[in-house]
Amino acid sequence: MTRMKFDARDKDVDVEAVQPPRRNFVRDGQHKAFLGIEDEGTQKMVMGCGGFVCLGAFIGLIVLLCSIHKLGPEEQVVVQGPDGKYVRNGPQQVVLSPSRKKTFRQATRLGPREYAVVKNSRTGEPRHEAGPKLLWLEAYDELVVVKSKVVLQLQDYIRLVDSMTGAERVVVGPNILIPGPLEHSPNGTEPAIVLSAEITVLTMNKTTGLLRLINKEGVFTPQPYEIILEVRTATLLSPKQYALVKNKISGVYRHELGPQLLKIGAYDQLVNVNTKVVLMKDQFVLLKDAKTGAQRIVAGPTAFVPKPSETTPAGIKKAAFIDTDTAVLVLNRTSGQQRLVTKRGVFFPQADEEIIATQELVRVLPHQAVVVRDALGKITIHNGATAEGSAAFFLPPYTSIVKMMWSDFGAAIPQGASKDQAVSKVPVTTIDLRSRKIFFSYEVPTSDNVKLRLDGTIFWRVVDVGKMMNTTSDPEGDVWHHSRSALIQAVSKITLQNFMSSFSNITTDAYRIQASDGFYAERGVRLTSMELTRFEPVEASTAQILQQIIQETINRINRLQVQESSNEVKAASLQAEIQLEKQRTALITTKAENAKLEAEMAGDADGMKLMRGAAAFIGGLDKSVPDEQQRISLYAMHQKLRSKNTDTQNLASGNAKLFMTPSDLNLASTTR
């Protein structure tokens, strides 16, 4: 028989005691003998009571069997007793009252690198259970989560904050740790910072607010309540660099010069890294102190670092080179006065001076003049035609070259232009003393009311600049308008026919009249000449008639030219024939002379032959005929006979002509 013990809270009853006694039950036919009852009614009553007892025992047995529970090796039951909860851990068999609330749960197996977060539901306090083990929870415990232990490597650390007290602690590796129940890590595992020669760390203590700069080489982990604000890399400054550093507490700026490996302090701020100011031999820089307002000039060649409060508002500037053709206009900012520096060489201004402009030497050619006005309005004339030595000059301070606006009639008037001549104003600073040219286009009426448009050219020049400046501001416009007035007066006195026949004389007369009326002399100018290049009627009908007249004149001229051309052609033809005949005469003469020369040559040749023949004939008879005169007579007779034979042969051939002289016929002329 198995015996199971109840807990005291289950009244600790013996299982054997509560089991009903065993009885031998017989079949229905044996009930009566078994019970020892002979009365049938009584027997029926006894049988009924026995049935109820058996039913109750059966139900109790079922309840008992249901209250028996077997717990495994990792099984646990939580029972709600009258005095509170309690637990039973396996492995075992327990009898639990069916009327009580029961909760079965498994134990938690924790590994070597695990821990469990357990919370007591009655007190609300958490706790950590470290592994390795089999975790059996208490009656009021709740398993919140199973976590891995925090493993810190050699250069790791973790910051743990107690959420109840706010206390901090820093655990540095290598280590394996379990945080406290109320501790948490806001940043988790963090790597430590390895400090080298170039790396520094800026930290702040949260309790005091003080900053600390750590620059010791090695592995750095912060202390509790200390946070890392910044990991800084040192700035390498070359020999040509410097750094501007600001102290955040005092606000004072300072310069750190290179070469160095710059590590700024805890309360320092690196504003920027600049290059040292390198000035060449012809450079300078103006430095202005922002605190005091003082200014200074640093001239090259040099390399320097300005003060922290100094600025260079204008940057590096080149010095002014002053030579024969260059000067410098300088303004003194303290007194406001200007001065012109003409000393040759390299010019560096003073601290309170500013170079306003670099002036070029104003050269006035022999045919030019320049007018200069000073601050009081006084005018100075630099005339290149004079021998006063003022042909080249620098413009003094507070003076300027007078700029005049002259009318510009320099453009030629195109054919068929509009009625009004276009005119514009051009600035003139250098006055040209040479002859100038103006193109004009005037509308002029004749005495018979024929409007003509006259185009031409006016030549004029400036002879006295002083008079011109005092009298007029636009001499070219004055010349144009006065010439127009004079030409209108001259043309309006004659008819169109007279104008067309003698317009050149009319223009010359108008020029002479206006050149001698004193108008130009008062303005310091001189009219050189006025030429008319083209004229045409303004009205279309007059122009048409004039075109017809011109066309008829042109036709007559063309006919005359055609006749003259024909006469010239005939005269040229006759002259050519005369020349041809002369050349023929020369040809005949030349041919005759050539024939004569040929005959002479042939005669000479024949004579030579005859002479040699005669010499041979006469010489051959010198022995047979000693007398020379006889030999000659014989030769003459021989030649005569030979000649007659030739004549006879020619006559016999029928192709020869016979010419005979009176002597050959023995004829004598008879005179009556």
DSSP string of 233-250? EPEEEPTTEEEEEEETTT
User: For the domain that residue 414 is a member of, what is the CATH number?
Assistant: 3.30.479.30
More confident residue, 427 or 31: 427
The answer as to whether 453 is a domain residue is yes
- Looking at the fold, whether 528 and 409 belong to one and the same domain comes out as yes
- Looking at the fold, whether 454 and 516 belong to one and the same domain comes out as yes
- Looking at the fold, whether 473 and 507 belong to one and the same domain comes out as yes
The answer as to whether 59 is a domain residue is yes
Residue 427, pLDDT score: 92
468, 523 Cβ separation under 8 angstroms: yes
Cis peptide before 132 (omega within 30 of 0): yes
> Can you tell me the distance from the alpha carbon of 463 to that of 433, in angstroms, rounded to the nearest whole number?
7
Average pLDDT value for the chain:
82
- Looking at the fold, whether 603 and 657 belong to one and the same domain comes out as no
Strand-pairing partners, residue 130, are 115
* Domain end residue (candidates: 106, 133, 166): 106
**Is pLDDT above 90 for 118?**
yes
Q: 448: which DSSP letter?
A: T
**Is pLDDT above 70 for 664?**
no
The answer as to whether 93 is a domain residue is yes
* Domain end residue (candidates: 538, 557, 582): 538
The answer as to whether 31 is a domain residue is yes
181, 117 Cβ separation under 8 angstroms: yes
Q: What is the bridge-based pairing of β-strands 368-373 and 400-401?
A: antiparallel
The answer as to whether 24 is a domain residue is yes
Cis peptide before 239 (omega within 30 of 0): no
- Looking at the fold, whether 591 and 509 belong to one and the same domain comes out as no
The answer as to whether 246 is a domain residue is no
pTM of the entire structure?
Answer: 0.47
Angle at 640 between CA 639 and CA 641, to 5 degrees: 90
Confidence of residue 94 (pLDDT cuts 50, 70, 90): confident
- Looking at the fold, whether 512 and 600 belong to one and the same domain comes out as no
Angle at 320 between CA 315 and CA 325, to 5 degrees: 150
The answer as to whether 487 is a domain residue is yes
Where are the alpha helices (H) located in 529-660, listed in sequence order? 540-620, 628-653
Residue 500, pLDDT score: 76
- Looking at the fold, whether 596 and 490 belong to one and the same domain comes out as no
Digit-coded pLDDT (tens) for 433-453: 899 888 888 888 888 888 888
* Domain end residue (candidates: 538, 568, 583): 538
Residue 5, pLDDT score: 42
Long-range contacts formed by 64-70: CB under 8 A, 24+ apart? 64/15, 64/18, 64/95, 66/98, 67/95, 67/96, 67/97, 67/98, 68/4, 68/93, 68/94, 68/95, 69/93, 69/94, 69/95, 69/96, 69/102
- Looking at the fold, whether 610 and 636 belong to one and the same domain comes out as no
109-123, 393-407, 582-596, 658-672: lowest mean pLDDT where? 658-672
- Looking at the fold, whether 482 and 556 belong to one and the same domain comes out as no
The answer as to whether 258 is a domain residue is no
More confident residue, 277 or 515: 277
Residue 388, pLDDT score: 59
- Looking at the fold, whether 578 and 654 belong to one and the same domain comes out as no
Name the burial class of residue 118, with classes exposed (0-12), middle (13-18) and buried (19+) by CB atoms within 10 angstroms of its CB. Answer: buried
Taking each helix axis from N to C terminus, what angle separates 628-653 and 540-620, rounded to the nearest 10 degrees? 130
Give, in order, the Cα–Cα distances in Å from 194 to each of 156, 185, 221, 367, 523. Answer: 11, 22, 9, 85, 94
Residue 557, pLDDT score: 84
- Looking at the fold, whether 449 and 517 belong to one and the same domain comes out as yes
Residue 50, pLDDT score: 61
451, 471 Cβ separation under 8 angstroms: no
Angle at 76 between CA 71 and CA 79, to 5 degrees: 105
- Looking at the fold, whether 412 and 497 belong to one and the same domain comes out as yes
Q: Which domain, by its residues, includes 81? A: 1-106
**Is pLDDT above 70 for 599?**
yes
Number of domains comprising the chain: 4
